[in-house]
Structure 1
Amino acid sequence: MTFAIDHKSPIPLHIQTEELLRKIIKQPQYVKGKHLPNEIELAKKLNISRGTLRQAINKLVYEGLLVRKKGFGTKVNNVVSSKALSWLSFSQEMAVRGIPIKNFELSISWVKPEETVANFFEIRGNKKVLKLERLRGRPEGPFVYFVSIFHPRIGLTGEEDFSRPLYEILEKDYQVVADLSKEEISAKPADKFLADKLDLDLGSPVLIRKRFVFDQAERPIEYNLGFYRADSFVYTIESRREK
Structure 2
Amino acid sequence: MKLDHNSDKPLHIQAEEILRGFIESEEYKNGKLLPNEVDLSKQLHISRNTLRQAINKLVFEGLLVRKKGYGTKVVKKGIVGGVKNWLSFSQEMRMLGIEIRNFELHVSLKRPAEEISTFFHLDDISDARCVVMERVRGRKEYPFVYFISYFNPAIPLTGEEDYTRPLYEILENQCHIVVKTSKEEISARLAGEFIAEKLEIESSDPILIRKRFVYDVNNVPIEYNIGYYRADSFTYTIEAER
Same fold (TM over 0.5): yes
The alignment yields a C-alpha RMSD, in angstroms, of: 1.1
CA contact (8 A) 1:85 1:238 kept: no
Match of 1:238 in 2: 239
Larger Rg: 1
Q: Secondary structure at the match of 1:154?
A: coil
Q: Secondary structure at the match of 1:107?
A: strand
Match of 1:214 in 2: 215
Q: CA deviation at 1:239?
A: 1.5
Q: Secondary structure at the match of 1:117?
A: helix
Match of 1:120 in 2: 119
Question: How do 1:123-134 residues align onto structure 2 when only pairs under 5 Å count?
Answer: 123=122, 124-126=124-126, 127-134=128-135
Q: Secondary structure at the match of 1:195?
A: helix
Deviations 1:163-210 (A, max 9, x none): 111001100111000100000000110110001000111121010000
- Figure out how many residues of one structure are paired with residues of the other and give that number: 159
Question: How do 1:109-188 residues align onto structure 2 when only pairs under 5 Å count?
Answer: 109-123=108-122, 124-126=124-126, 127-188=128-189
Structure 1 length normalisation: TM-score?
0.64
- Structure 1: which 5+ residue stretches go unaligned? 1-82
Q: CA deviation at 1:86?
A: 1.3
Match of 1:107 in 2: 106
CA contact (8 A) 1:102 1:137 kept: yes
CA contact (8 A) 1:182 1:213 kept: yes
Q: Which amino acid aligns with 2:203?
A: L
Q: Secondary structure at the match of 2:169?
A: helix
Deviations 1:133-192 (A, max 9, x none): 000000001000000000011111111111111001100111000100000000110110
Higher relative contact order (CA 8 A, sep 6+): 1
Structure 2 length normalisation: TM-score?
0.64
Match of 1:89 in 2: 88
Provide the identity percentage: 55
Question: How do 1:11-22 residues align onto structure 2 when only pairs under 5 Å count?
Answer: none
Q: CA deviation at 1:115?
A: 0.7
- Displaced runs of 4 or more, over 2 A: none
